[in-house]
Chain A
Amino acid sequence: MYNLEDIQNILIKYGKPENVAWLNGKIEKLAEDKSSKDLFMTYSLLNVKFDATRPISFEQLDSESTRYFSAHEANNLQVSRIYLLAAVLEQDLEFFTPKVANIIQVADTGELETFLKYLLLLPNPEAYKQTAVEALRTNIATIFDAIAMGNPYPAKYFNDQQWNQMFLKAAFMERDLSQIESVDQKANEDLTRIISDYAHERWAAGRKIDPLFWRPVSKFLNEQLLNDMRTLLNSDDKIENKAGALCCYHSGNEKAMSLLNGKPELKHKIAERKITWNTIKQQ
């Protein structure tokens, strides 16, 4: 997704011309001097030079970067931070990677949020996996959401254990699970067990669980999970009925299909794509 020119074009179009010129001057100088102090100062001054009060209203969504920034309601300050980091990393990846890591280490909440959301717009984003995984441990919702919600980074770089940790914590924190990307692709057997255990724990406490939590279990329906599917299909909650039906429908499992045959109306609607994981919460 990384494309420095696209990012620069966004700043040129939506930033104040004198401040974009100032930033480009600093970046040129950094290429010659390779001074970490100048990088830190330039980075620090961005929040004086670029507006963070409102998201950019993009006129055209003509590049991948534009579409990604727009979908995440980026403001000028965020774009300028990513631009500066990407630009110096492109100049000298080896020299600037530890300096960028240093900037992240001392980040305030807003900076960390920016960095995590737009990791994929930097060259060599895998270098920051440790920071991304660390963000899963936070209790600050904006930080957790920055890495977990609407972000392709976890699916691309997290291993199963890390991805499972994220999915479970998102459910635990009652975040919007529909915002997690590539759930079907990242589903794995270990996660299936975790999902069932957690659901039982919640049921035992008389609490509900987001029906979207079940989505990854489809391809891994063992006896215990088939029982869970039975529970979902017979629940008083219509959304749980749909979740159970969707899991069974996409399972390719005969026993699951015969369970679903007991709910012909649901099966029919799924076949007609009137019920999907994306529309499950709609009436």
Chain B
Amino acid sequence: MMIIDPHVHMTSRTTDDYEAMAAAGVVAIIEPSFWLGQPRTQVGSFQDYFSSLVGWEPFRASQFGIKHYCTIGLNSKEANNEVLAEQVIELLPLYLHKENVVAIGEIGYDDQTPAEDRFFRMQLDMAKELDMTVQVHTPHRDKKAGTIKSMEVCLEHGLDPANVIIDHNNEETVKEVLDRGFIAAFTIYPKTKMGNDRMVDVVKKYGSSNIIVDSSADWGVSDPLAVPKTANLMLKRGISMEDVRKTCYQNALDAFSKNGKMKEAHWLQPDSINQSQLFNDNSVLRGQKPRIDEDQII
């Protein structure tokens, strides 16, 4: 089964993760720009980070046969450094049309401060002007109110809810999101928040339309295999193959392919793992083959 993980921060992950993801059926991923665990202090740090999302990281992914896309935006936490945030906003148009950029994201609220609100709205205007998809990060604290506010602000700025993915949903927020016509993404966390089991119940209750599963794996405790694992659990628990395919593949593809950058042909007719593009001695593969199936010693 082919899997898309539409929210995973591969910059923070190892090549072991890429290998395991490819082996588990992940064919494409989307890496939203976010914060790096501690706040950046210079606009140049953002520039180099964005450049790596449109340069090195897609190349690294390609060596494992995974197609890498990204979303570009100023995350909510770092919107609170307003002087820096203004410079980052100026930088964004230089990246939004790059070859693997599929949306503006992840943007939204963290503590729901006035500064966060200001830069969220600026980026929504940019999305409206450029007719781009938006990937919204919803807050971990005061979640339900923050999620509803995010959607209201999107509508206020004239965005089509079908072109906005509201991420990090749970049982408490999903109905509001679907009722308003937005796309609801669920992050599967290994220990806290939304787990695999709960996700299965959500799909049983709400069906598979406009629902997307992702891992949001990053530098913290998280699971880059969350989507394939959830897909398998869904099948075991009697959810139809069609619903699993929609929530773990097709809906993400439909939602993020609107600007024409993400195409199924990229992995169905892959030149993405074209050996002629790879260095033999000095790539991330270091002369290895990107598979670990046999001869495992532990």
Residue ranges of A at the interface with B (Cβ–Cβ < 8 Å): 37, 40-41, 44-45, 47-48, 103, 105-112, 139-142, 144, 172-174
Instruction: Tell me whether B282 and A172 are in contact (CB under 8 A).
Output: yes
* Chain A: CB-nearest residue to B47: A106
Q: What is the minimal beta-carbon distance from B260 to any residue of chain A, in angstroms?
A: 8
Residues of B within 8 A of A142 (CB): 277
B281 interface hit (Cβ, 8 Å): yes
Whether the Cβ atoms of B99 and A139 lie closer than 8 Å is: no
Q: Which of B100, B276, B282 contacts A108 (CB 8 A)?
A: B100
Q: When the two chains form their complex, are residues A109 and B47 in contact, meaning their CB atoms are under 8 A apart?
A: no
Check B283 against A109 for contact (C-beta < 8 Å): no
Complex interface: chain A residues within 8 A of B56 (CB): 140
Instruction: From A44, A112, A173, give the contact of B280 (CB < 8 A).
Output: A173
* Chain B residue at smallest Cβ distance from A141: B277
* B50 engages A106 (CB within 8 Å): yes
CB within 8 Å of A: which B39-63 residues: 47, 50-51, 54-56, 58-59
Contacts of B281 in A (CB 8 A): 172-174
Proximity bits, B257-292, A CB within 8 Å = 1, else 0: 000000000000000000011111111100000000
Quick check: B98 and A108 within 8 Å, CB to CB?
Answer: yes
Check if B51 sits within 8 Å of A106, measured CB to CB.
yes
The answer to whether B59 and A109 touch across the interface, beta carbons within 8 angstroms, is yes
Question: Would B97 and A109 count as touching, CB distance under 8 A?
Answer: no
Contacts of A174 in B (CB 8 A): 279-281
Q: Which B residue's beta carbon lies closest to that of A175?
A: B279
Which B residues fall within an 8 A CB radius of A? 47, 50-51, 54-56, 58-59, 91, 93-100, 276-284
Contact status B279-A40, CB under 8 Å: no
A44 touches B94 (CB 8 A): yes
17 A-B contact pairs sorted by A residue (CB < 8 Å) = A41-B93, A44-B93, A47-B97, A103-B94, A105-B47, A106-B91, A107-B55, A108-B99, A109-B54, A109-B58, A111-B98, A139-B279, A139-B282, A141-B276, A141-B278, A142-B277, A174-B279
Q: Which 3 A-B pairs have the closest CB atoms?
A: A44-B97, A108-B54, A108-B98
List, in ascending order, chain A residues with CB within 8 A of B283's CB.
Answer: 139
- What 5 new A-B contacts, CB under 8 Å, besides A108-B98, A140-B56, A173-B281? A41-B93, A47-B99, A110-B99, A144-B279, A172-B282
The answer to whether B96 and A44 touch across the interface, beta carbons within 8 angstroms, is yes
CA distance A53 to B44 in the complex (A): 32
Residue ID in chain B nearest A106 by CB atoms = B94
Give the complex CA separation of A37 and B51 in angstroms.
19
Task: Determine how close the nearest CB of chain A comes to the CB of B73; give it in whole angstroms.
Answer: 15
Q: With a CB–CB cut-off of 8 A, which chain A residues contact B55?
A: 107-109, 112, 140
- Residues of B close to A107: CB separation below 8 A: 51, 55
A173 touches B94 (CB 8 A): no
CB distance from B259 to the nearest CB of A (A): 9
| Residues of A with C-beta under 8 A to B280 | 173-174
User: Residues of A contacting B282 with CB < 8 Å?
Assistant: 139, 172-173
Closest chain A residue, CB of each to CB of B51 = A106
Given A106-B50, A140-B59: A40 in contact with B93 (beta carbons within 8 A): yes
Q: Is the CB of A40 within 8 A of B94?
A: yes
Please give me the residue from chain A that is nearest to B97 by CB atom: A44
CB proximity of A112 to chain B, nearest CB, Å? 8
A227 to B284, CA, bound (A): 36
Bound-state Cα–Cα, A144 to B55, Å: 13
Q: Are B279 and A141 in contact (CB under 8 A)?
A: yes
Bound: A236/B282 CA distance, A: 29
Tell me if A109 and B96 are in contact (CB < 8 A). Answer: no
Residues of B within 8 A of A141 (CB): 276-279
Closest residue on chain B to residue A103 by CB atoms: B94
Contacts of B98 in A (CB 8 A): 108, 111
B91 to chain A: which residues have CB within 8 Å? 106
User: A102 to chain B: closest CB distance in Å?
Assistant: 8
Tell me which residues across on chain B come within 8 A of A110, comparing CB atoms.
99
A40 to B95, CA, bound (A): 10
- Distance of B126 from chain A, by nearest CB (Å): 12
**Complex Cα spacing A172 to B59, Å:** 19
Give A174 to B50 CA distance when docked, in angstroms.
30
Is A109 a contact partner of B277 (Cβ separation < 8 A)? Answer: no
Contact among A45, A48, A106 with B95 in the assembled complex (CB-CB below 8 Å):
A106
CA distance A84 to B223 in the complex (A): 45
What is the bound-complex CA distance between A44 and B94, given in angstroms? Answer: 7
Which of A41, A139, A144, A173 has the most CB atoms of chain B within a 10 A radius of its CB? A139
State the CA gap A158–B19 with chains docked (Å). Answer: 39
